[in-house]
Chain A
Amino acid sequence: MESTVLSVTDFSAYFGENQILKNINLDTGSNVVTALMGPSGCGKTTLIRCVNRMHELIPGATVKGKMYLKQDDVYAMEPIVLRRKIGMVFQKPNPFPMMSIYDNVIAGYKLNGIRLKRDELDTIVERSLRGAALWDEVRDSLHRKGTFLSGGQQQRLCIARALAMNPEILLLDEPTSALDPKSTSAIEELIVELKKSVTMLLVTHNIAQAARVSDYTAFIYLGELVEFGTTEKMFTVPKDKRTEEYLTGKFG
């Protein structure tokens, strides 16, 4: 791979006694979209949440194995330092309702107590909103609260908020499952465009979406990484029987 952004080695995750992830081994290169797909409950959301250690917020959650973000051991770092390097977009758009659009984009800086000059912040806001393909729609209402935005626009705002931190990797947890088809395609186009500037890990239960936007796909089933490869190859000639069955809709 070009240069590995995320490297997962023999990684397992537990909720108390339950083992959710079993010995996952995965590497993602830079400026690619890697899709994690699989039936519900297979562990793909857990995996993505282990990358930015959000999984730990639930009491009783433990992990084994190694994860490296570029050169850093994810589990040896201070979580709040780690999370600043990783952007996350959630299933249901969650902009902060008490903050204006402007403040939402720079929320990462505000919450972390990082003080920047006004013009620096202005630049960041414009850059991030442009990157999320939202700038033209909100440039005149930056100081209004974001609640008037549509679902799709709110999700793009959340993407802008994540991009503002210049993350080394962007995690997207089923970002379009709460959106209408039109907004979904807008976000998918955005993901393809964003590839040029950021590496992404995309969890999706929508096989077609994985096929449309991702370069690599990992098929996870019952906590195991069943197959991993380029999207093209996996969707045309899957190596594992389970992958084939999932792709043809036999389960999930």
Chain B
Amino acid sequence: MNDHTTIRLLKDKVFRGTVMFLACFSMLPLLLILYYITRNGIAVINWEFLTQLPRPIGEVGGGVFNAVVGTVILIILSSILSVPIGITAGIYLSERSEGKIANIVRLCVVVLQGTPSIVIGIVAYIWIVAPFHSFSALSGGVALSIMMLPVIIKSTEETLKLMPYHLKEASLALGVPYYKTILKVILPTGISGILTGILLSVARITGETAPLLFTAFGNQFMNWNLFKPIDSLPYRIFYYAMSPYPEWHAFAWGASFILVVVVLGFNLIARGVAVKWKVQF
């Protein structure tokens, strides 16, 4: 074995070692983040934290109940707005693999998905906050629903495309009209993929703050009125984190813990649905 070969073998080993080191090192941020969230978050979480409203600074205690409720309301609102349209548009795209309009729609989906969330916030502000002269849960819901739309459309399209043709054939051969075939056979069979898409998009928007900065805006108090500002977990985290008070910083960690658990929870459920409910062919 000559020197040249030895060098080459050495390079091979060094490269392998470097790749492994860098890859493993990349896990460090994750471990650190999860560790700190858990450590600092759990320290703050108790029943009071989960069920009380924020107290003004200076007073001890309080919680993030309004933020939790606000997040739930926003999720429900944006889902109501985005799911029906998203699934319908997804069905349209799955039925047409060619066609100018279909391709334009697909392009729009790509662009929508890549649009920065803060830009969507601006648009929702102009459409809803400005005319009503008030920050509102509604505007936040609209902004979030625009963000959910592309994910739902894509996952619906992809799920339905995977449905084998013989399924359609069986139904059509029984004399079932085409549109009923889609609604009653194809769609239910593909429900796991569609549901997964919805859950993943919910997971995505649950943690979104930027579009809420000037739409839902945040609210110290509990608010059930959709036309008034509403609080949310991500907003509360931002607000507390940027404040100068250590008590609030601690609360920010607590709220982060809840948020991470919720977001990861949605992701896990989405994956579970994808596996457990999937119809095999």
Contact = CB atoms under 8 A, between A and B. Distances in A.
Contacts of A113: 4, 8
Nearest to A112: B8
Contacts of B1: 78, 81
Interface string B1-33: 100110011000000000000000000000000
A218 B5 CA distance: 35
B153 to A, nearest CB: 35
The number of chain A residues touching the other chain, given as a range, is under 10
| SS of B interface (majority) | helix
B4 A80 contact: no
A78 B4 CA distance: 13
A95 B273 CA distance: 44
A149 B192 CA distance: 46
| SS of A interface (majority) | loop
B155 to A, nearest CB: 33
Interface residues of B, number: 5
Interface string B98-109: 000000000000
A31 to B, nearest CB: 28
Nearest to A113: B8
Nearest to B12: A80
Nearest to B5: A81
Interface in A75-108: 78, 80-81
A114 B2 CA distance: 13
A62 B1 CA distance: 23
A250 to B, nearest CB: 40
A81 B9 CA distance: 10
Interface in B51-105: none
B262 to A, nearest CB: 41
Contacts of A78: 1, 5, 9
A78 to B, nearest CB: 6
B7 to A, nearest CB: 8
Contacts of A114: 4
A81 B4 CA distance: 11
Contacts of B5: 78, 80-81
Nearest to A78: B1
Contacts of A81: 1, 5
Contacts of B9: 78, 80
Nearest to B8: A113
B55 to A, nearest CB: 61
Interface in A106-145: 112-114
Interface in B110-147: none
B15 to A, nearest CB: 13
Interface in B156-207: none
A223 B276 CA distance: 43
A56 to B, nearest CB: 15
Interface string A56-81: 00000000000000000000001011
A226 B260 CA distance: 66
Interface string A20-39: 00000000000000000000
Nearest to B6: A78
Nearest to B1: A78
A114 B5 CA distance: 10
Give the 7 A-B residue pairs with the shortest CB-CB distance, closest first: A78-B1, A81-B5, A113-B8, A81-B1, A78-B5, A80-B5, A78-B9
Given A80-B9, A81-B5, 4 more contacts: A78-B5, A78-B9, A81-B1, A114-B4
12 contacts: A78-B1, A78-B5, A78-B9, A80-B5, A80-B8, A80-B9, A81-B1, A81-B5, A112-B8, A113-B4, A113-B8, A114-B4
